[in-house]
Amino acid sequence: MLCSNSPSRLAKTDYYYVCNPTTKHYTTLPKSALETQNSKIHGISLAFDPAKSLHYKVVCVRDSMSSPQHYQTEIYSSQTGPWRLSGDPFIADVNFSKGVYWNGLIYWINDQGTTIAYFGESCGHLHLTKISFYTVRFDVYEMKRDDSEWFVKYRIDFEHPDHKLNYCNFTISYLVRGKRKEDAFLVLAAPNDDKKTRSSVSFKVTFQTTPYYTSDAIAKQQRKLHAKLSPVR
């Protein structure tokens, strides 16, 4: 688990920690040699697969110091230690604050012009959910294992009388896929008007569809920009 000592993960002077909730141990990541008051971090992501190795890598995307209006990628390895540069400065229209590690790669999302309610991994599968502010019916997309395209894995309808939700009173915190289709569920965060806090509530998906591939237009719109960073594998 990657954590920060700041409420904003994009702060310029954050300390970052890699935590193990099971052992309750954590490691403080060292400061980068590139870190200055003018070097903004746009995203930082953990690459870790305990099934393959107990070592991990942390990928940081920050402002390039040598090329204005460009990004620069740094990688920290628990095996080798210090931060090091990876690749050349680049330009990209991507939200680097939402990196997800899946299938040996880190994926970032371009969410401009759309509302992404959820983007994450569960049980070895990558999922994406778009949602409209005017409806609580939406599709959950899953990426094919070969990284070729998205298909609709679930269709969810919270307008069912049993749910009593509307489009403004919940956000999707997690999607848990489960080994069986009927085990899939969402963890929702809903505001409490009395205590002004948020609580997580689980709802089973109301119905599921046979997976089908999205049209070329949808697949093109939803395709993620991912970084094939060889050191992350």
Question: In terms of domains, do 87 and 121 share one?
Answer: no
| Model pTM score | 0.72
Q: Which of 1, 27, 29, 57 is nearest to 233 (CA)?
A: 57
pLDDT tens by residue, 64-74:
888 888 999 99
Last residue of a domain, one of 58, 91, 124: 91
Query: What residues have CB less than 8 Å from 46, skipping those under 6 apart?
Result: 1, 2, 18, 56, 57, 58, 101
Asked whether residue 232 carries a pLDDT value surpassing 60, the answer given is no
Q: Give the chain's mean pLDDT.
A: 73
Q: Is residue 232 part of a domain?
A: no
Q: Is residue 107 part of a domain?
A: no
Question: In terms of domains, do 39 and 137 share one?
Answer: no
Asked whether residue 114 carries a pLDDT value surpassing 80, the answer given is no
Q: Is residue 126 part of a domain?
A: yes
pLDDT, greater one: 13 or 218: 13
Q: Is residue 233 part of a domain?
A: no
Q: Is residue 129 part of a domain?
A: yes
pLDDT, greater one: 154 or 192: 154
pLDDT tens by residue, 47-60:
999 889 999 999 99
Question: In terms of domains, do 65 and 124 share one?
Answer: no
Q: What percent of the chain has pLDDT over 90?
A: 22
What is the average pLDDT across 91-110?
88
pLDDT at 161: 53
pLDDT, greater one: 59 or 95: 59
The number of distinct structural domains making up the chain is: 2
pLDDT tens by residue, 6-34:
655 555 557 889 998 888 889 999 988 87
pLDDT tens by residue, 162-190:
555 555 566 777 788 877 777 787 777 76
pLDDT at 59: 94
Question: In terms of domains, do 121 and 218 share one?
Answer: yes
Residue 158 DSSP symbol: T
Domain containing residue 177: 116-222
Q: Which of 225, 219, 221, 222 is nearest to 71 (CA)?
A: 225
Question: In terms of domains, do 141 and 74 share one?
Answer: no
The neighbour count for residue 124, using CB atoms within 10 Å, is 11
Among 22-26, 87-91, 211-215, which stretch is predicted with the lowest mean pLDDT?
211-215
